[in-house]
């Protein structure tokens, strides 16, 4: 029997890199296409579908497959998606890849600028987030392009998925400890139930890096952001039972 897992985010945290690390493994097949992401469990089509419809829609006949996975970074913010995934795949493993939240927020800003969704300078965009967060076309965009700070409160999303899945099925990885780290990639293979000695060809490739916009991260703005994330990061460390030393700025 083929088991399923879901890589749910966070956005701008290396989930495309994660996709390739997984899809290159001979025992793992990832949902295709990679772009646009399936977002199946957030769409109305879910209500008209059965599991076999979903599996036929996104997966092929890769030989030797033991595991199938979907990568949709918008799922991390969607209780509806979490509930629906649990309805069909209650034993699925849920993968979180989390990046230092200040850096992630700035990458998110670059992404929004280059996709024509953001026109404000960085400082103004960050500080006005609360007023602007929901001011976007919900019919065209699956998640707010302005949730630079909110999206970095990772512990809230982990706890939300914890309402639907066993804690041991929630796999939390740290971007700075994962990207280009063969030991960490192979540890993930083992956690999923795939052979752990595989070396992915794209291990050291720069995948889906955001285009950079000239930004002015002043010491004052950096402190504002660091302070914003401080309590959530402490709670995440308590959840993991360890410090995340790679996030010390």
Residue range 223-248, pLDDT digits in tens:
999 999 999 999 999 999 999 999 99
pLDDT over 90 for what percent of the chain?
A: 90
What is the model's pLDDT at position 215?
Answer: 76
Q: CATH code for 3-247?
A: 3.40.50.300
Return the domain boundaries, the chain: 3-247
CA distance 114 to 188: 32
What is the model's pLDDT at position 213?
Answer: 64
What is the model's pLDDT at position 91?
Answer: 98
Half-sphere exposure at residue 30, Cβ-oriented, CA atoms within 13 angstroms: 22
pLDDT digits (tens, 9 = 90+) for 175-193: 999 999 999 999 999 999 9
pLDDT digits (tens, 9 = 90+) for 100-141: 999 999 999 999 999 999 999 999 999 999 999 988 888 888
Half-sphere exposure at residue 53, Cβ-oriented, CA atoms within 13 angstroms: 8
Q: How large is the average pLDDT for residues 47-62? A: 96
What is the model's pLDDT at position 139?
Answer: 81
What number of other Cβ atoms are within 10 A of residue 218's Cβ? 11
What is the model's pLDDT at position 209?
Answer: 67
Residue 61 binned pLDDT confidence (cut-offs 50, 70, 90): confident
Instruction: Provide the whole-model pTM.
Output: 0.94
Residue 211 binned pLDDT confidence (cut-offs 50, 70, 90): low
What number of other Cβ atoms are within 10 A of residue 47's Cβ? 7
Handedness of CA 16, 19, 21, 23 (dihedral sign): negative
Q: Which is nearest to 193 in space by CA: 103, 36, 67?
A: 67
Mean pLDDT (the chain) is 95
Q: How large is the average pLDDT for residues 26-39? A: 96
């Amino acid at each position: 029997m083929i088991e399923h897992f879901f890589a749910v985010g966070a956005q701008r945290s290396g989930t495309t890199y994660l996709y390739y690390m997984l899809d290159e493994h001979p025992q793992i097949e990832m949902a295709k296409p990679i772009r646009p992401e399936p977002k199946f469990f957030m769409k109305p089509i879910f209500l008209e579908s059965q599991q076999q419809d979903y599996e036929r829609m996104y997966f092929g006949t890769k030989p030797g497959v033991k595991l199938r996975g979907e990568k949709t970074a918008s799922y991390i913010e969607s209780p509806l998606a979490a509930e629906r995934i649990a309805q069909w795949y209650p034993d699925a493993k849920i993968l979180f890849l989390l990046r230092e939240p200040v850096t992630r927020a700035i990458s998110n800003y670059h992404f929004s600028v280059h996709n024509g969704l953001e026109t404000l300078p960085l400082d103004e965009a960050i500080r006005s987030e609360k007023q602007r967060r929901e001011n976007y076309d919900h019919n065209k965009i699956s998640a707010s392009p302005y949730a630079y700070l909110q999206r970095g409160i990772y512990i809230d999303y982990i706890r939300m998925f914890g309402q639907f899945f066993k804690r041991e099925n929630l796999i939390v990885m740290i971007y700075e400890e994962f990207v280009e780290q063969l030991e960490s990639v192979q540890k993930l293979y083992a956690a999923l139930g795939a052979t752990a000695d595989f070396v992915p060809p794209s291990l050291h490739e720069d995948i889906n890096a955001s285009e950079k916009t000239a930004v002015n991260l002043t010491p004052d703005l950096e402190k504002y952001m660091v302070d914003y994330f401080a309590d959530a990061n402490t709670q995440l460390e308590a959840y993991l039972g360890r410090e995340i030393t790679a996030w010390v700025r």
